[in-house]
Structure formats: structure tokens, C-alpha cells
Structure 1
């Protein structure tokens, strides 16, 4: 398995598909990276040369935030919203949906399991 951005990507898949195993890279971005690195997206990961792998790593380091840095930035953005006390921050703090979804009937994933009135018997 090739290791790019701290993630083991599968050898038996196309490079464009393998790159999507990295947090922050979807199918469009994977195609974009392959184009910038002059690699055919249909190429299997195991067929990449060391130079091509270094090219992909260089592009990721220079142009994109992936894995740990992206996760910390997202967490810091949510924390900033909670600190300033805006509506979205309050919704995050209360663990409720913050994009306008109804919560009267659904939103069980975000709210967690129902609190049973009698408790467990």
C-alpha cells in the first residue's frame, strides 16, 4: 500500500479512487490532482513510480489542506461559532441541527436516543 498524507491508500484501485481515502479529497479533487501531476486517473496505484508519488505528495502539501490540519480547522471553526454565541454556535452547543431542519419529529441522529419517562425497568 502506498502511503500519502499519512494514509495507506489501496494498491488495487485506480489512483483517482485511491486518493479519495484521504480526508478532504473527493472524486473531483482527486481528478484535479491527477491532472496537475500529469497522471492518468485510470492508472492503478501499484503502477505509480516513486517520482509520481512524490509529485502527488508535493501537490497535496502546497495546495490543499487534508487530514489533521483540515480536521483541526473545521473543529476550530465550530468552536469559534460557539464562542461568539451566534445561532449556529448555540445549535452546535445544544447538539441540534443547525441548518434549518425540523426537530419536532425527526433529528434523532443529532439529538441522540429518546429519554424514556419511566426509565429502564
Structure 2
């Protein structure tokens, strides 16, 4: 495992896909990082030199919010929505889907298990 921006990334994967293991970096962002740092997208992390890894790591730290800082920011945004009492905050508080999804069916992940007793079950 190589350490980039404080996160262990797999060494057997290509650089853009390995960078997506960092919270806050998706594939599009990873591709732009590789382009900016002049790293071949086909290279694997194990093929990178220490200088390249340090270059990518410093670039990410300077230009992106990642990991703990980003998680804290997202949590604060949700907390402010809940405190305001806006529609999205109420949905967060109740544990229901926030972005307009239907709840009659297909909201099991967000709503959780039904606690209603089932008739005829012993």
C-alpha cells in the first residue's frame, strides 16, 4: 500500500482508480489530478517514483478538501439544515430520503426495517 495524502491506496491499481480510494476524490477529479501532475493514467501506483507520489500528495492537499476535513464540512452542512428546520433538514432528522425519491416503495435503505407485527406469524 502506498500512502497518498494520508490514505493507503492499493499499489496494483492504475493511478486514477487508486486515487478514488481517497474520500472526496472521484474518477473525474482523479483524471484531472493525473493530467495536472503529468502522470500517465495507465501507470500503476507501484510504478510511480517517490517524487511523483509526493507531487500528487502535495497537489491534493493544496487544492482539495479530503477525508476528515470534508466529512466534518458535510456533517456541519447537514446539521445546519436540521437546525434551520427546512424541508431537507426535516427529512434528514426523520431518516427519510432527502432528494425527492419515492417512499411508498424502494426506500428500505434509508427508512430501515419495518417494525409492524406480521399477522399469522408464530
Category of TM-score, reference length = shorter chain: over 0.9
CA distance in 2, matches of 1:25, 1:73: 15
TM-score, normalising length: structure 1: 0.92
Give the conservation status (yes or no) of the 8 Å contact 2:5–2:58: no
* Offset at residue 4 of structure 1 (A): 1.1
Root-mean-square deviation (CA), in Å? 1.6
Q: Distance in 2 between matches of 1:105 and 1:44?
A: 43
The 1-side partners of 2:25 and 2:36 are apart by: 14
Unaligned runs of 5+ in 1: none
Q: Any idea what SS the aligned residue of 2:3 has?
A: strand
Which runs of 4 or more aligned residues in structure 1 lie more than 3 Å from their structure 2 counterparts after TM superposition? Answer: 118-121
**Equivalences, count:** 121
Partner deviation per Cα, 1:61-120 (whole Å, 9 max, x = no partner): 111111111111111110010011101000000001111112123311111001123698
- Counterpart in the other structure of 1:60: 60
